[in-house]
Amino acid sequence: MNFVSTRGNVSKIGFIDTVLMGLANDGGLLVPEKIPQISAEKLESMSKLSYQELAFEIFSYYVNGEIPEAELKTLIEKSYATFRSPEVTPVQKVKDNMYVLELFHGPTFAFKDIALQFLGNLYSYVSKKTGEPIHILGATSGDTGASAIEGVRGKEGIRICILHPHGKVSKVQELQMTTVDDPSVLNLAIQGTFDDGQRIIKELFADLDLKNKYHLRAINSINFVRILAQTVYYFYAYFHVKKERDLRSINFSVPTGNFGDVFAGYLAKKMGLPVGKLIVATNENNILEQFIQTGVYMPGVFQSTYSPSMDIQVASNFERYLYYLLDENPSEVTTLMEKFKTEGKIVVSEEQLRQVQLDFAAYGVEGGECLQTIRKYHAQTGYLLDPHTACGVAAYESCNEPDEVCVTLATAHPAKFNESIERCEIQQTFPEQISQLFNKQQHLEVVEAENEEIVYHVEKLFSFSAK
Ligand SMILES: *Cc1c(COP(=O)(O)O)cnc(C)c1O
């Protein structure tokens, strides 16, 4: 298995080099040269595996022997041993044809832990093998930061710098990131939005001298491992529901920001999982919904919403989808991405739009509807949705046909977003790990959203162990 760039100007590389490269050196994103195909018989044989066994099977298609089997198994075991549920991602039936896939049982109570617990262990493994330091530079809309820090803290040879949008994350998200007292962890609160942070990160990674000098590594979903680890639970959920009922195919409703999680579902489908509709759920930052309805991808004006982890205008993984929509033609991707840079939008043809609408359904959820969905499900079923999951559930209600079965991805625990839950006049009890955060001291620096300022901090944090 080799990996290539969506823009075609990186020579083929293997799995570990793909992990280390993060953003492709030509500014594109790395994708598998050929998506592995899982036959119906093979799927059947995978249906009774535990989460960890399933992860091993799926990862093996991509890791391609670069990590010996026993070591890969150990990495997987270690990564999911920190989860509070033995099933890792349990599935709950909420209504007759609607299930939720609970992805929030990891250390920081959001789905990012599923990939980042593994990536943290993988980075540590690679650092030990190569003797090279791992210096992580990432941006977060709120959940990735805490999750990445939790995934690597205390691991030898690893330092981490995370940019988050100052004042635009929930209190619990901010506390989770900033209460870690460790000299190898730096939190920069930028005066700007997540899009500013993500743009800075991409620009710094594109500066290959800087990237190589400081051994910069990515934890955002530009890193293919994030996508890979997230494909596993689509399989897991399908197998779970299939045990309960006759199932030809299954829909997924996915709360979306950077298009990473839903792209993982798209990849699972391309590998052979019988997925019907992939429903893209957005909040008021609804560029992806607009694209799926009209074929025009055009970022608009940023809005702060009740679901801050989805407050994203420029979805970095969109380029991965574009690559497949354009029949894996890197020069067409390059042309469109360059046009996007100069004109601020991408427009696809009528024929391509038809394909987009075969691949995805979409629904944008406004704040009032989000809170109403939380209230309704709490009153009718006793299940408390977090505001991101509520967007997913509202999109399920809008896009799913009555005779179809749908799994909504529950991307975070409601305790992370009590600001929104309180607005629904619902009182929740915090898990112990969250309530204890409120007594801890915070460590962060507020900085301008300017490349030079970030580089200054990056050099300070990463230089003394860089050789
Ligand atoms: C990150 C995040 C999302 C969006 O996921 P993408 O992969 O960026 O589309 C949705 N919900 C929560 C709670 C998140 O943390």
CATH number at residue 259: 3.40.50.1100
Buried b / exposed e over 341-360, threshold 16 CB at 10 Å, is eeeeebbbeeeebeebeebb
Q: How far apart are CA 164 and CA 348, in angstroms?
A: 32
Active-site amino acid positions: 112
245 lies in a domain? yes
365/373 Cα distance (integer angstroms):
10
Which atom of ligand 1 lies nearest, measured to the CA of 386? 13
| Inside any domain, residue 387 | yes
318 domain residue, yes or no: yes
pTM: 0.97
pLDDT of residue 464: 64
Considering the domain boundaries, does residue 304 fall inside one?
yes
Residue 360 domain-assigned (yes or no): yes
Q: Could you state, in chain order, the average pLDDT of each consecutive group of 10 residues for the chain (467 residues)?
A: 97 98 97 98 97 98 97 98 98 96 98 98 97 96 97 95 97 97 96 97 96 96 98 98 95 97 98 98 98 97 96 96 98 97 97 98 98 98 98 98 97 98 97 97 98 96 68
The alpha carbon of residue 67 and the mean position of all alpha carbons in its chain are separated, in whole angstroms, by: 24
d(CA 204, CA 259): 21
Task: With CA atoms as reference, report the closest residue to 196 among 314, 100, 328, 284.
Answer: 314
The CA 194 to ligand 1 mean position distance, Å, reads 12
Is 388 inside a domain boundary? Answer: yes
How many structural domains is the chain composed of? 1
Q: What range does the domain containing 413 cover?
A: 91-109+225-423
Q: How far is the CA of 293 from the centre of ligand 1 (A)?
A: 21
Within-domain flag for 266: yes
10 lies in a domain?
no
pLDDT at 411: 98
Q: Which residues line ligand 1 (CB under 6 A)?
A: 110, 112, 143, 221, 255-261, 309-310, 388, 411-412
